[in-house]
Structure 1
């Protein structure tokens, strides 16, 4: 069994890895902004840009707070770095927690919005994720307040554990529920397109991209709740890694979809043809499938007669 990593060393390692991840997010974020302006994904460029900017700003503020805390801990704290990091009532610790909670809420909000759009803007389908989102915010900010009221003991105090664990589990549940709902909707739509001989490979590719990205963030949250439950200081490392990871997964989906579109376009240019296939599609109502950011739509009129679906492939 490995020896427990000291709190001060865990915090320093976390800062180094967070710096690396934030740099990666900054580069990917810049590329994502360019892609959004060029391709106008899903006709919601303004929302995507504002969400991306907010996530980057909060991630940067989180990192700056960690820089200031490291400076205070290793250079300006007479009791030493270990005692400094163990004091969860430090105002900077509370500020860091509040920023992380807000960052998590921003990321979860866009996940819920995607689910809402994929399900034809049906509020009933996102009722549970919205309740989980509200609970995440309530518990997260309650945890911040609890930290300020804790003058002795560290983050693993018995009275803090339900709050911290509840926050992590609720944001994890929000992402898992939305991912399942989106995946089900996209798979169902792909089956309809396949039966109608209207293609659907792009929908399937977008689904794989979305699931891979969602799995990355969910795995980080699972790791976080596990190491926290084990009272391991490694949770500080995982926690600081997940801050910029929210933005990385956000950008990853857009960039990979753009790469897929570019590859498909180059393939068609090389063949010198741009076929437009028209197929009859039999579905009950307009369905907008937003495979995270790419969109494909098809419908049928109220009389039950199939409409024509134009698939630009």
Structure 2
């Protein structure tokens, strides 16, 4: 068995293992979001990201395992695992969710950078430029995958570009989020009594998606120097994204993430509840106004009566 096929087989095995871990984290994430839904404090953008990532990661993981098992069962004439060419239908079905998962994760990371930096547009200019380049590279990947004349060298080159742009965007966003969290922790260090420094480190690692960025580094390195182990890194990328970003969603949903306040979160608009609360508030305001007006009238009448009794020269006494 060649090194590339061995790497693909190992990658499928690791993908299955990490997908199982992702399912456990995703279940916990869903439970947290369900409690937020019952409390009518659910963030819609978090729900959308969670569902989208779950669909894409499940799609990617199942097709990766199915493609490998199919290759094991149906061996090539040479006796090796037949994974089909990169421009085959199998490859397209497997790699489309991989690219889309990467794009969704990068978009979420750019948005988190925007939130952590108190919605400052200037901070995310470079991440947005890199994200646009990432989307363009993804489209080019799809074009090459759909072309049967695409060579292995061409597919590797465009995959290298896509991975490099993705890594650049993640490094910038991770650095910005980490610096922001570290600055906030340093400023609050003198005001917190008995704060746990370990929890601050965990928050920095989780919220900055540092683990995902660390996984991307060996992926791009092995891809550039053409070591076939990069197949394994590509296969584990989707479930790693699921685990890392589900942990971020859990922290944001619990209100433990930096930069999230009631003013900047996208909660569900509960129309009926809002209407009832508005009506109740109007009624309370009307009752308060009426009661206040009545008290004012009574007070004015009492003052007028008192002044009349104490002032014998008033018109009422003269009459």
TM-score normalized by structure 1?
Answer: 0.71
Superposed counterparts of 1:144-223, under 5 Å:
144-151=142-149, 153-154=151-152, 157=153, 159-194=154-189, 197=191, 201=195, 205-206=199-200, 208-211=202-205, 214-223=209-218
- 2:291 equivalent to 1:291: no
Unaligned ranges ≥5, structure 2: 264-319
Native 8 Å contact 2:106 2:170 kept in 1: yes
Worse overlay, 129-138 or 239-248: 129-138
- Aligned to 2:177, the other structure's residue is in SS state helix
Deviations 1:259-311 (A, max 9, x none): 997xxxxxxxxxxxxxxxxxxxxxxxxxxxx427x6599xxxxxxxxxxxxxx
Q: Count the aligned residue pairs.
A: 260
Deviations 1:124-162 (A, max 9, x none): 2111111111211211221222133254753xx1x3343
Change (3 A) 1:115 1:21: same
Match of 1:23 in 2: 20
Shift of 1:228: 1.3
Deviations 1:13-69 (A, max 9, x none): 21111111111101111011212333689x663222221121111011112222332
Shift of 1:176: 1.4
Shift of 1:198: 5.8
Deviations 1:209-259 (A, max 9, x none): 232562211111111111112222211111111111001011234557899
Runs of 4+ in structure 1 displaced over 6 angstroms? Answer: 256-261
TM-score normalized by structure 2?
Answer: 0.70
Native 8 Å contact 1:10 1:233 kept in 2: yes
Unaligned ranges ≥5, structure 1: 262-289, 298-313
Match of 1:62 in 2: 60
Q: Hey, what's the Cα distance between the residues in 1 that align with 2:210 and 2:87?
A: 33
Native 8 Å contact 2:106 2:131 kept in 1: yes
Structure showing greater Rg: 2
Q: Hey, what's the Cα distance between the residues in 2 that align with 1:24 and 1:135?
A: 31
Q: Hey, what's the Cα distance between the residues in 2 that align with 1:228 and 1:81?
A: 26
Q: Which has the higher helix share?
A: 2
Higher RCO (C-alpha under 8 Å, 6+ residues apart): 2
Match of 2:107 in 1: 109
- 2:196 equivalent to 1:236: no
